[in-house]
Each structure stands twice: as structure tokens, then as C-alpha cells.
């Protein structure tokens, strides 16, 4: 916990104030009981009324998108996420020492996905929690960092009942633009705890002759419009290999094995 006070000398005092102000505006939006006006095709007003139901709660995130920051330090990333002109954010940031920074309430929409697609979902930010891992894109992730991440994922999975298959990479939802988290990210360690699916370590059954790998990528969620990018993202995440987009026997068999879990 950062434990910021209102002290004006604190580097994040201004962004904290801005957060509270924006949250107040959203609270007003939630309380509003005004109904829209509607018109028919001839421009005549259609009657409408507001009647508040008593049965509701907040919408919940159903996906977790994992990123690496591609920056040099937690401080640099905190600065990016608290500066308006960057127009990017995430719900959480995990430091190399395992410390977890929360930047946004889970129920609010962070700006971490950008233009992205997974299955038929085109507004990933609206349905997901974004988690940034402090990593420059080259160095290995630290043990403390992964321990912190696992604790955070456990909490999110339990609170929002997020299915195992819905813990995915930024590169999975934006394969043409993104490569994060980089190839050293320990997806298998996560999958062992129920965060993400992975092909079996030992694959005993080869893909059948009529297996269609492009369809399988789509079933898993990939947008295959840029097929080479989707194949590279698949290999990075599910084979732990940063390589070209050629279909190898290993890739096909692993994809078939994974596809059967969906
Ligand atoms: Zn990212």
C-alpha cells in the first residue's frame, strides 16, 4: 500500500485528487435516474419512463490481461500512469520486489488493451483487469514478482470468478502490435495454479490429419486476420518460444492439445 496523504509535497498528490474528482463524477452518473428520450422514424416522441429496479450490482471483470511495462522502473511506470498525456493505465503494477501497486478500482475501466480483439470481444478494456509487470522486455522476471502476481491473481479469480482460460497476454489480444509479456514470462507456473490454460507438458497424441490450426487459433480466441502475428503470439505464450510463424509439428500438436481443453 502506498498510503498517500493529502500532503502537497507528495509526487502523486495531484493525481490522487484528480482520481477522487473523477470518481465523484462517475458516482453521480450511477445515481442518475433520468431516462433517455426516443423518437420513431417519423420523428415523433416515443413515451418513456424511469422505474428503478431493486435487483442489481456492479458489472464484474471477466478477463485478466498481463503486460510487461517495457520501462526501466516502477517509478517510471507510476509516472506514466499518473500523467494525463500518456492516455494509458492499468489496474495493477507488480514491482521486481513483489510489491503490488493498485492504480484503479477493479470496477472501473483502465486503458491498457488499446485496439485489440479476443474471440468476438472488441472492447477488452470494458471486461478486463490490466496487470503490468515491471520488466524491460529482456530481463527474467523475479521470483518475488511472480509470487506477488500469483497472490494478486488468486484474489481476482476468487472475487470475480474468472475462468482459467481468461488469463491471457496483451500480445494475445493485439498480436500485430504487441509482444508482452515477453517470452520469459512463466505461463506454465500460472497455469498450474489455475490462471490460464497450457498444452500438456508431455504431448502423446499428434493432431489428426484433418486438424485445421487456423480454426483452432480462432476457437482459443486469436484474431487471425494477421495470421503470422497470431502464430508468433501463440508460440510465445504456449510454447515459450520467440520464433518465426512457420507451422512446426511441435506447434501443431501443442495447439491441438490446447484446443481440446477449450
Ligand atoms: Zn501491454
Question: Domain holding 91: CATH number?
Answer: 3.40.80.10
| pLDDT-derived band at 10, boundaries 50, 70, 90 | confident
Helix locations, the chain, DSSP H: 13-31, 74-81, 124-127, 143-160, 170-173, 187-192, 213-220, 227-234, 249-259
Residues 168 and 250 in one domain: no
Residues 182 and 73 in one domain: yes
Residue 188 sits in which domain range? 63-192
- Mean predicted confidence (pLDDT) in 31-41: 94
Residue 4 has pLDDT above 80, yes or no: no
Distance 86 CA to ligand 1 centre (A): 14
State the average pLDDT for the chain.
96
Distance 56 CA to ligand 1 centre (A): 33
Residue 165 has pLDDT above 80, yes or no: yes
Residue 168 lies in a domain: yes
Residue 7 has pLDDT above 60, yes or no: no
Which position among 75, 84, 132, 205 bears the catalytic label? 132
Q: Identify whether the C-beta of residue 89 lies closer than 8 Å to the C-beta of residue 112.
A: yes
Cα of 212 vs its chain's centroid, Å: 27
Residue 11 has pLDDT above 90, yes or no: no
Residue 87 lies in a domain: yes
Residue 3 has pLDDT above 90, yes or no: no
Helix locations, 32-94, DSSP H: 74-81
Residues 106 and 158 in one domain: yes
Residues recorded for the chain:
262
- Mean predicted confidence (pLDDT) in 35-58: 95
Residues 168 and 125 in one domain: yes
Q: How many structural domains compose the chain?
A: 2
Distance 208 CA to ligand 1 centre (A): 35
Residues 160 and 238 in one domain: no
8-state DSSP, 129: E
* Three-state SS at 113: coil
Q: Is it true that the peptide bond before 41 is cis, omega within 30 degrees of 0?
A: no
- Per residue in 135-148, pLDDT (tens digit) is 999 999 999 999 99
| pLDDT-derived band at 195, boundaries 50, 70, 90 | very high
Residues 170 and 238 in one domain: no
Residue 247 has pLDDT above 80, yes or no: yes
Which segments within 88-208 are labelled E, that is strand? Answer: 92-94, 100-102, 128-133, 167-169
pLDDT-wise least confident of 9-18, 172-181, 190-199, 241-250 = 9-18
Please count the CA atoms within 13 angstroms of the CA of 257 that sit on its side-chain side.
18
Cα of 175 vs its chain's centroid, Å: 13
Residues 68 and 103 in one domain: yes
- Mean predicted confidence (pLDDT) in 47-63: 96
Residue 2 lies in a domain: no
Distance 102 CA to ligand 1 centre (A): 16
Residues 86 and 156 in one domain: yes
| pLDDT-derived band at 177, boundaries 50, 70, 90 | very high
Residue 40 lies in a domain: no
Residue 83 lies in a domain: yes
Distance 2 CA to ligand 1 centre (A): 23
Residues 230 and 169 in one domain: no
User: For this structure, is 144 an active site residue?
Assistant: no
The pLDDT value given to residue 8: 52
- Per residue in 82-132, pLDDT (tens digit) is 999 999 999 999 999 999 999 999 999 999 999 999 999 999 999 999 999
Residues 88 and 133 in one domain: yes
Distance 170 CA to ligand 1 centre (A): 5
Residue 68 lies in a domain: yes
Amino acid at each position: 500500500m502506498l498510503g498517500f496523504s493529502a500532503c502537497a509535497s507528495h509526487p502523486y498528490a495531484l493525481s490522487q485528487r484528480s482520481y477522487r474528482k473523477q470518481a465523484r463524477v462517475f458516482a453521480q452518473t450511477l445515481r442518475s435516474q433520468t431516462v433517455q428520450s426516443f423518437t420513431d422514424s417519423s420523428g415523433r416522441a416515443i413515451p418513456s419512463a424511469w422505474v428503478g429496479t431493486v435487483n442489481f450490482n456492479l458489472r464484474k471483470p471477466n478477463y485478466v490481461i498481463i503486460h510487461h511495462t517495457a520501462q526501466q522502473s516502477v517509478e517510471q511506470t507510476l509516472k506514466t500512469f499518473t500523467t494525463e498525456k500518456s492516455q494509458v493505465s492499468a489496474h495493477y503494477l507488480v514491482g521486481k520486489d513483489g510489491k503490488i501497486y493498485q492504480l484503479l478500482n477493479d470496477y472501473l475501466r483502465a486503458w491498457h488493451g488499446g485496439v485489440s480483439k479476443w474471440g468476438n470481444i472488441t472492447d477488452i478494456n470494458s471486461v478486463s483487469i490490466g496487470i503490468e509487470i515491471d520488466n524491460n522486455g529482456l530481463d527474467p522476471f523475479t521470483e518475488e514478482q511472480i509470487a506477488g502476481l500469483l497472490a494478486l491473481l488468486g484474489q481476482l479469480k476468487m472475487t470475480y470468478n474468472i475462468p482459467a482460460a481468461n488469463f491471457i497476454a496483451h500480445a494475445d489480444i493485439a498480436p500485430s502490435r504487441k509482444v508482452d509479456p515477453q517470452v520469459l514470462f512463466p505461463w506454465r507456473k500460472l497455469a498450474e495454479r489455475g490462471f490460464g490454460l497450457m498444452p500438456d507438458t508431455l504431448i502423446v497424441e499428434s493432431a489428426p490429419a484433418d486438424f485445421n490450426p487456423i480454426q483452432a487459433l480462432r476457437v482459443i480466441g486469436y484474431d487471425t486476420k494477421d495470421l503470422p502475428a497470431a502464430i508468433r503470439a501463440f508460440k510465445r505464450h504456449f510454447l515459450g518460444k520467440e520464433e518465426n510463424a512457420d507451422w512446426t509439428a511441435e506447434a501443431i500438436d501443442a495447439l491441438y492439445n490446447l484446443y481440446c481443453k477449450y
